[in-house]
Amino acid sequence: MRNYDLDFLKRFSLVIGFLTVVTLGLIALSWFVHRALPTEVDPSAARRVAERIAPVGAVYAGDTGAAAQAAAAAAAAASAASQVAYGGTLDGSVIYGNLCAGCHTAGVAGAPKLERAAWTARLAQGADTLHRHAIDGYTGSTGFMPAKGGNPALSDEQVIATVDWMVENLQ
């Protein structure tokens, strides 16, 4: 063999050795990472385990439990009160101007305008009937009234106050 052939074999052996060491290092690193990561759990198996270890019942803690229930009821009532339309105002003119005027000024779907002639037959039925039709809605030969004017966030008291305001302001 010639000198340059021996030199080539030495360098080639060093490159092959280096690549072998790098390959073995990558294999060891991948094995370590694979062992370190948790295995995935089948969702149906996780659901079965959750059902199996779920508590059978709840514990009533006497006054402490009653206090928690009362606090939850108060929080629910406060949340419901915050959902009332127009800040819970009972000013019929505000609610009429923001909601009812859309139909009652133009007579949409048979909605009576604020004119006494359009309300004569309705007034003869009585205030309770007017209130009930405004709260529950009404479909009849004279027209259509959606429940609470189409805004379910209105309280019954707000609807009654608005109907009363409308009756008082007939022209």
According to the 3-state scheme, what is the secondary structure of 32-91? Answer: HHHHHCCCCCCHHHHHHHHHHHCCCCCCCCCHHHHHHHHHHHHHHHHHHHHCCHHHHCCC
Looking up residue 146, the CATH number of its domain turns out to be: 1.10.760.10
* Separation of alpha carbons 151 and 138, rounded Å: 14
- For residue 125, tell me if it sits in a domain: yes
- For residue 132, tell me if it sits in a domain: yes
- For residue 157, tell me if it sits in a domain: yes
* Separation of alpha carbons 117 and 43, rounded Å: 68
User: In this structure, what is the dihedral angle of CA atoms 94, 99, 103, 109, given to the nearest 10 degrees?
Assistant: -140
Instruction: Provide the residue range defining the domain that includes 131.
Output: 90-168
- For residue 95, tell me if it sits in a domain: yes
What type of residue is 3? Answer: N
**Tens place of pLDDT for every residue, the chain, 171 residues?**
688 888 999 999 999 999 999 999 999 999 999 888 888 888 999 999 999 998 887 776 666 667 777 778 788 777 766 667 777 778 888 888 888 888 888 888 888 888 888 888 888 888 888 888 888 888 877 778 888 888 888 888 888 998 898 888 887
Quick check: pTM over 0.75?
no
The continuous run of DSSP H or E covering 30 comes out as helix 3-36
- For residue 63, tell me if it sits in a domain: no
Count of domains in the chain? 1
- For residue 50, tell me if it sits in a domain: no
- For residue 160, tell me if it sits in a domain: yes
- For residue 138, tell me if it sits in a domain: yes
